[in-house]
């Protein structure tokens, strides 16, 4: 495995557990495993070492892969769910409640939309079934097609209109990977919308039917109470010395004595600063640009495909305030910030999560802890600021949105350059094409992780699991 984030660790763990006869090594560039899963205390003695995530802070349970892994690792009893489930949206210089129930921002009941958030025509439309606009003289098929991928924007705009998309769906979905939902693949980012949008019953009717049989009290997210790094620690405990940190892979070569006469797999040699490693199969669980560099010498075409992946850079400031200086609603997990027409004068922050309202174990009697995000694919302002300038700008945004003027008791800033993949329409075909190129030119070399089916932790765990299976298949072919 190249890369010791959640994807590479999962792939290594799967092989170690399911195939103890196979030698597996996870090579991680940095001195700590986990990639974007990082948990640690803030520099505020009052918080007494409270574990607060610096990156991802929860995983979705609507899909099984992360929860299943926690069960298998025996840490499911440590999982907690957000106590506050409501959230708001900062739009037009005010906080608006996000209508609930909603699916990725699409309100299922127009009665729950705060007056003034949408226009009467939008509410009328939301009261209907969400059958797509039909072009004049056209048919339903011509509005959304019958198959293939579309952008999230195309689907939502056609079914429920532009304002619902711009004021609700884009802020919610864009919040997941800091992207523009007009450019994002619906098949990857919101597969649950595509089928009902294309059905004759309509998007809203389909979503309402699904919601009617779901348990509204069922948890949507989980996290270990000790923070997301607990999952990393549990995987690392099983991997033991199969994990080598401080081992950036700088090149991959075909093994010189690989016997290609009766086997497709020639074998690979990974070079790190501390030595070389030979393997029948290599899983690249690294960002696309790193995978591109390692693959390109063996397949120009695969390297070129991987070079084309676009990423958004984000930063996350964790900020603590004295409780006397700030009040946040206990029933709200936080708020998202919608995209403004004039970016220069709009807040830098894209979201603010109230850690103590969201997670009961982070609710501190003396402190309010906020996690403030910034950076979008089309907003590079944070990258142009020093850390001090960025923190100052985010504190100014908190003053505007929450009215807090007092200095924080602690601040921790983490930057995540080129971290969030943007999945264009047709991404799934792009992955199929990439797999084909790799199978032809570099048998035994596989790509896994966020390059494939989403940035979420469950998608990464699924990808790590599938990569482990594929690596065994490739090595024994």
Ligand X SMILES: Cc1cc2nc3c(=O)[nH]c(=O)nc-3n(C[C@H](O)[C@H](O)[C@H](O)COP(=O)(O)OP(=O)(O)OC[C@H]3O[C@@H](n4cnc5c(N)ncnc54)[C@H](O)[C@@H]3O)c2cc1C
* Residues of the shown chain interacting with ligand X in the complex, contacts defined by CB under 6 A: 2-8, 27-30, 35-37, 55-59, 248-249, 285-287, 290, 314, 316, 416, 419-420, 449-450, 455-457, 460
Is there a contact between 320 and 50 (Cβ–Cβ < 8 Å)? no
- Residue 6 or 126: the one with the smaller Cβ distance to ligand X is 6
CB of 269 to ligand X, least distance (A): 14
Q: Which is nearer to ligand X, 5 or 132 (CB)?
A: 5
CA–CA distance, 3 with 105 (Å, rounded to integer): 34
Contact 401, 349 (CB under 8 A): yes
- The CA distance from 265 to 36, in Å, is 32
Bridge partners for 252 per DSSP: 270
Closer Cβ to ligand X, 55 or 171, answer by number: 55
Rounded CA-CA distance 184/177 in Å is 10
Shortest CB 407 distance to ligand X, Å: 24
Pairing of the two strands 268-272 and 52-53: unpaired
135-to-130, 150, 227 alpha-carbon distances in Å: 15, 17, 49
Query: Smallest distance, Å, CB 14 to ligand X?
Result: 14
Closest approach of ligand X to the CB of residue 9, in Å? 7
- CA–CA separation, 309 and 96 (whole Å): 34
Pairing of strands 52-53, 39-40: antiparallel
Written as six digits, the tokens of 293 are: 């560099």
In the complex, minimum distance from the CB of residue 172 to ligand X, in angstroms, rounded to a whole number: 14
CB of 287 to ligand X, least distance (A): 6
Q: Cβ atoms within 10 A of the Cβ of 471, count?
A: 26
Select from 51, 194, 180 the least CA-distant residue to 132: 194
Between residues 112 and 293, which has the closer beta carbon with respect to ligand X? 293
Alpha helices in 59-165 (DSSP H): 65-73, 120-126, 140-144, 152-160, 162-164
Closest contact distance (angstroms) between CB of 34 and ligand X is 7
């Amino acid at each position: 495995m190249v890369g010791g984030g959640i994807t590479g660790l999962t792939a290594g763990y799967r092989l170690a557990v399911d195939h103890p006869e196979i030698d597996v090594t996870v090579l991680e560039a940095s001195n700590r495993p986990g990639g974007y899963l990082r948990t640690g205390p803030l520099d505020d003695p009052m918080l007494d070492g409270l574990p607060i995530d610096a990156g991802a802070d929860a995983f979705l349970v609507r899909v099984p892969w992360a929860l299943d892994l926690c069960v298998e690792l025996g840490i499911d009893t440590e999982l907690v769910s957000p106590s506050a489930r409501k959230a708001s949206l900062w739009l037009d210089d005010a906080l608006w409640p996000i209508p609930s129930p909603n699916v990725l921002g699409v309100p299922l009941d127009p009665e729950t939309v705060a007056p003034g958030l949408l226009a009467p025509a939008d509410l009328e439309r939301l009261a209907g079934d969400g059958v797509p606009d039909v072009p004049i003289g056209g048919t339903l098929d011509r509005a959304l097609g019958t198959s293939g991928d579309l952008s999230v924007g195309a689907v939502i705009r056609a079914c429920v209109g532009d304002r619902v998309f711009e004021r609700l769906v884009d802020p919610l979905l864009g919040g997941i990977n800091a992207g523009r939902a007009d450019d994002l693949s619906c098949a990857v980012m919101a597969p649950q919308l595509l089928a009902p949008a294309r059905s004759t019953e309509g998007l809203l009717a389909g979503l309402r039917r699904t919601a009617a049989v779901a348990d509204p009290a069922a948890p949507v997210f989980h996290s270990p109470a000790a923070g997301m790094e607990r999952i990393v620690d549990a995987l690392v405990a099983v991997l033991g010395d199969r994990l080598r940190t401080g081992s950036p892979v700088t090149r991959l070569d075909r093994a010189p004595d690989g016997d290609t006469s009766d086997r497709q797999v020639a074998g690979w040699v990974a070079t790190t600063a501390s030595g070389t490693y030979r393997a029948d199969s290599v899983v690249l669980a690294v960002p696309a640009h790193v995978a591109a560099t390692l693959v390109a010498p063996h397949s120009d075409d695969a390297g070129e495909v991987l070079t084309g992946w676009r990423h958004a850079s984000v930063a996350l400031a964790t900020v603590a305030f004295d409780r006397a200086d700030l009040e946040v609603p206990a029933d709200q997990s936080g708020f998202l910030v919608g995209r403004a027409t004039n970016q220069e004068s709009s807040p830098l922050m894209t979201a603010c999560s109230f850690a103590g309202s969201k997670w009961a174990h982070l609710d501190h009697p003396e402190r309010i802890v906020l996690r403030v995000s910034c950076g979008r694919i089309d907003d590079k302002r944070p990258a142009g600021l020093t850390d001090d300038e960025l923190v100052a700008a985010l504190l100014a945004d908190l003053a505007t949105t929450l009215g807090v003027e007092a200095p924080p008791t602690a601040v921790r800033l983490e930057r995540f350059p080129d971290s969030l993949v943007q999945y264009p329409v047709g991404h799934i075909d792009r992955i199929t094409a990439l797999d084909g190129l790799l199978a032809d030119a570099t048998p035994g070399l596989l790509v896994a992780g966020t390059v494939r089916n989403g940035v979420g932790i469950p998608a990464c765990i699924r990808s790590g699991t599938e990569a482990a299976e594929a690596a065994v298949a490739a090595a024994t072919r």
